[in-house]
Structure 1
Amino acid sequence: MKGHAYARRLKENEKKLLVDLTSKNVTPRDILSTLKEQDESNNVGKTPIQLLMLLFNDKQFFTEFSVNNISNELENIFFIHPRSLDIWRAFQHILIVDTTYKMNKYDLPFVQIVGMASTNKTFSIAFVFIINEKEENYNCALTCLKLTLEECMYPRVIVTDRELALMNACQQVFPDTTRLLCRWHITENIKKHCRQSIKSQHKWDSFLAMWTVLIESPTWILYSENYKKLQSMLSEYPGVLKYLDQVWLSKYKEMFVSVWIDRHLNFGERTMNRVESHHAKLKKYLCAKNSSLDKFVGCIDQIVKSQLTSIYESFENSRIFLKHRHNLPCFRLLRKLDLSPSTSVENEDICCDGELEMFKEKFTNQSKAGKKSLLRKLKDIFQPKIPDMFHPYITHVQDVRGDGNCGFRAISVCLGYGEDQWLYVRHQLVDELLTSYDVYARVFTDGIDELCNSLCFSQLLAPAEHWMVMPMTGVLIANRFGVILNYLTKRCDKTFFPLWRGPKHFQYHHAITIAHVYDTHNVMVQLEGDYPMPTISAYWIRHRAPSTAEWQTMYMSRLEFYRQLKPCNLKTPVITIEDYC
């Protein structure tokens, strides 16, 4: 129904905005501009690659790209979900790599790399769009993968099918890693080449059974005996025996026969069924073969989050299982598991001084248009967005760990505790809410249960339901800690004053600021001087005590300054937070 009037109708929130802006005598042109800006699905003027890059940055994917040296065309797109990276650092032992096709409108081969957690759950590690299935493309993909890990954490086993380009790339990039071939693919190839030679169904079934016994031989002696039995069985079919010897056994038996592969810790992974099932799941999510790349990546984001929920659930379930010998919970084996990035044992400093000098030299030699182009590309690398009006007043931006507790970490930094005291902030806010629960129930009405649930969490890697819920949490922060909270976002900045205590109740008060960036992350921002103060939260307007009206009077000039700098048709420029770190 694309282009149909029914599909272009206004949503309920857009109708309310239309009525509100019309009542304020905003011109139709400016109303339309505002509606377009607030419509997240409005992609007019953006190329498919621009949409893809914006999505990568918003979701904080780790990405790498390669281009053709001659045509300068994009060839390989490598990306890892940030949550997948955390899991893989804990379970980097097994890699299963496979390529699938007909999953996007550009017919790009899609490489998916998966791993296995300690509770036998599968998780996606990395994804790659490649221009073709050549060795250099696979080499590029695996090299990007290798760059994400410390040297001591390289995988021990890689499982693939017999795709020579991929096998050679694995050998080059991970020379010390054991390479295994998928038994299922081997058997399918044997069926394809040998079924016509063995007509009898009984003999065919006997042959497949004997082949299974051969490849599962646990010792060299048993392997030799089973091979002789297979030779005897195929005496009438010399072509089949020749095919097995020349194509599989003579070249690759060390990569799929148990007597050899069981010398290496492989956790029973002898097929690529895990990655094949993930191909099927992704195709089910897409529901179409001509999907755009940004929609494709959006589905991957959903799948990875679903995987992680299942993995964490399996960790919790393992608490109830007991070891037979010592009667201990299985989860004890995981009690010290930390999915956060670890510090390298090597005293290794990574710097970019040389690269920066090269950039400056190239920048100096460019024309005016070339300099603007390079600056745009440099800015595109950093996506954290803070409205332009605050730029002159920012003296420092401090990033915090993005583990789902980032909002509470940023508040802890603002209060001078340091980000590691995020749990103290959570406990203080829970106490604030429960102590005056009946009062807050009238303030937040239906949202109070969601707020309470979001705060009651004490572990690392908080799932989405335990992230900071704004603007409700902003009200609790201002009340509990007696501060003015400025909350900066791409769409709607807010100021939170204490609801029930005015300036006279405090011997000294100060304002703190956090910014919501990447659509999922929060950072601490330090503002100095008479900066514009964002619009006051509606909760304060509706529920404040009369004695708190002086807050608005005290900061009226700065609130008005903000309104002057942010007309409804103004597009929000961006800055990079690293410039102030």
Structure 2
Amino acid sequence: MDDYLGLFSDSWSIENDVPGGESISNNSRDYTVEFTTDQIFKSREDMINWVKTVGLKNGIVVVIKNSANLKGGKLPKCHLMCERGGKYKPPRYLVDGQSLKRNTGTKKCECPFELRGIPIPPDGVMWGLRVVCGFHNHQLAEYIDGHEYPSRLKPIEKEFVLDMANSTTPREILSILKERDPLNTTGIKSIYNAIFTNKSAKRGGLNSIQYVLDQLIKKEYLHNYRTNPDTNEITDILWVHPKSLELSVNFSSVLIIDATYKTNEYRIPLLEVVGITSTMRTYSLMFAYLSNERTEQLTWALDTLKKWMVEKKASLPLVFVSDRDLGLINAIEICFPNARHILCIWHINQCVMKKCAPMLGLEWQHFYASWHSLINSSTQWSYRQKWDVMRKEYQRFEGVLNYLWDTWLHPYKERFVSAWVDTFPPIHDTYIEKLPVPLQRYISHTVDVQPDGHCGFRAIAALIGYGEEGWFQVRFELIEEIQQNKDLYDQLYPD
């Protein structure tokens, strides 16, 4: 073996022919010593990993120039070079039948640095290493971060990224990788690329919309879509989980609606409808991707939801909460004419802060407290009194007062100020009205359950979000509670 390696042990000098005829500048440094080793590697992968590790320590990114496996009795080969070695060959494009070269830049500068792996006979499993040329004709990188090759994810890192992708943001995943390996030079783009590639592979050749429809059908979601009659392309699509629709049977009194268009790569509106249970927990009732946020598209989405709720024999919503989207407000009034509409206080405060804070400067904090006191007025009289005080106190900020009055208070105060919102007629329930008046104030919702001897358990299960058929779980948890605290219950109920 030593005799075989000795055939390649002659050192390369600058007087010898430079591989490929590349030129070397006078201020180039020779890295022959750093890459010279007598080590025999157990495999080609071990040799390549050793070379890349040494290269990164010296600011050199080493890549495979060419390689070949054992074939026809010939030993395998593996040549390595600097990432800036060789010449860039731009692809040719045909424009009107004429060949056109694409005008692009390149980092390749015909760097002469080259290493050669030496396969050990007879089977070439173990490898040695020879430095063909240790010089570079360019300045080496001070920082490796962002370089394509060293920033690639290792197989175990890629597996970790894909496992975390469903529950963690790409930036958090990258932070975890950096904490685990301080020498990791992976960038955020590599994380996104790995997730995107995995999703594309899962789709199995289907485009995004086709994959969504395939999943909705497989998982038995209620769904509907519309297409462009000219192009047959899907323009709007919505879906509802069957269990969410079941929850709406008992918890449809108040629905919250919001639409956002900055959370997907296509920048199309995502409409979400959220319900609230009696335990103040929220559940997602419907999602919809719409071509735009106009009244016509929103009406189609809400009307489809209404149809499914009627088919399920769910009570129609009594109150809707949303932002000041005029198209959405119109759609709610068209589809649910008997429902009340309330504006979301959080959205209003965000708009007021964005518009008024720059104009008020140091006065903002005091003004914001006064604004909250105004919108929380318990009576119309106190509302008028507080508004008069604010107008006098901030009369020098005419733009702020005009904005509050013209945009919010004059047209919409009945939809968000407590003096009007809290005095809406109560939700009527004929069963509640039959109970003693002193008890009615403590009851906000009722359910009519199956009278099979388990109605008490069924009522509790329905009202805490288990669904009426979850009565057995309620019964089990009640028995478990009594058994775990038997001494306490014996004192409460000694008989």
- Shorter-normalised TM range: 0.3 to 0.5
Larger Rg, first or second structure (1 or 2): 2
Higher RCO structure (Cα 8 Å, ≥6 apart)? 1
TM-score when normalising by structure 2: 0.46
TM-score when normalising by structure 1: 0.39
